[in-house]
Amino acid sequence: MLKKYFAIGAFGAALAVALGAFGAHGLKEVLSERLLDIFETGVRYHMYHSLGLMLVALLADRLGESKLLRTGANLLVAGVVIFSGSLYALALSDVSVLGAITPIGGVAFLGGWGCIIAAALRSSEK
C-alpha cells in the first residue's frame, strides 16, 4: 500500500502544481474572475488531498495496512477526481450543471477521512 498510494499522491501533487500554473498563467486572461476562483478551488483541494494521500500511505506503513485505510485512500482519490475534476470542467466550460457533481466528491472526501480516522482509532499501534 505504501508505494502505490504514496506514488499516486505524489503524482496528484505534481499534477496539481501543473494545473495551478496553467490556471495562473494560461487561464488568467481567458477566464472570468469567478471561473478562475472555481478552478483555483479545484487545484487547492486537489493538492490538499494528494498530500493527504501520501500521509495515509505513510500511516499504513506505521500502523499496518487495513481495509479501512485502503477504503479511505480510495475515497480520497475518488474525491479528487470528482470534486476537483468537476470544478475544472465547470471553470473551463461554464456549464453550471457540473457544479451539481462537486458535492459528490466532497462526500467522498469526508467518507475517506472518516475511514482514516476509524482506522487510526482501531489500530493497536500506539
Q: Is the pLDDT of residue 38 over 60?
A: yes
Range 40-54 average pLDDT: 98
C-alpha to C-alpha distance for 1 and 67, rounded to whole angstroms? 11
CB 1 within 8 A of CB 57: yes
**What proportion of the chain, given as a percentage, has pLDDT over 70?**
98
Domain span at 86: 2-122
pTM for the full predicted model: 0.92
- How many domains is the chain partitioned into structurally? 1
Find the distance separating the first CA and the last CA of the chain, reported in whole Å. Answer: 20
pLDDT recorded at residue 71: 96
What's the mean pLDDT when you consider all of the chain? 94
pLDDT recorded at residue 124: 72
